[in-house]
Amino acid sequence: MLKRFIHARIRAFERRYDYDARYLHELADLDGAGLRAFSGAAARLGRRHAEVPAAAWFGARLAAMLAEDCGPCTQLTVDMAREAGVDLHTLHALLAGTPDTAQEDAALGFRFAHAVIDDLPTLAALRCAVVTRYGAAAPAALGLAVVGARLYPPLKRAMGYAGVCTRVTAAPAGARD
């Protein structure tokens, strides 16, 4: 009964975002407790924190996905960002690696996450900018966005589901060609 409910929820998520979550179905069948632990951690880490605007949070999350993933999870992040109101121009700029042409909050989140991921010398200055703009809790909120985004691609690779790369677009999920 519980497995049927879990699979139904995964299918609903797949339909909502036009996303292939076969790896989650398989994990549900192989290790239900593992799926629950993974999903709980991912949900907590993947929840946007009020300390930062959606554009900054998704900017950070998108930087993490671009560092980890070849397409499907990045596309999912773009679709969720669009759903949260992040504008197309900003998403195009971040996907192109030109955050300076993106909306300011998204650019700051993206650059901060990139500095965190690559341990860049600019990290201290970007952390100061994040604190100044959003408050003392903001670096942790953006850090959680990075960590949460990076959970999925390694699991997919480990389970053999990361072999298909896709072209990422900033169109809404139902409008992709």
pLDDT tens-digit readout, 64-114: 999 987 688 889 999 999 999 999 999 999 999 999 999 999 999 999 999
Which residue, among 118, 8, 10, 19, has the nearest Cα to 74 in the 3D structure? 19
**Sequence spans of domains, the chain:** 50-175
CA-to-CA distance for 101 and 19, rounded, in angstroms?
29
pLDDT band at residue 177 using 50, 70 and 90 as cut-offs:
very low
Burial of 134 (0-12, 13-18, 19+ CB in 10 A): buried
82: which residues sit within 8 A by CB, 6+ positions away?
88, 91, 170, 172
Amino acid at 58: F
CB 146 within 8 A of CB 117: yes
Burial of 163 (0-12, 13-18, 19+ CB in 10 A): exposed
pLDDT on residue 135: 97
User: Of the given ranges (98-107, 117-126, 168-177), which has the lowest mean pLDDT?
Assistant: 168-177
CA-to-CA distance for 160 and 166, rounded, in angstroms?
16
Which residue, among 33, 17, 35, 16, has the nearest Cα to 25 in the 3D structure? 35
pLDDT tens across 24-75, in order? 999 999 999 999 999 999 888 888 778 899 999 999 999 999 998 768 888 9
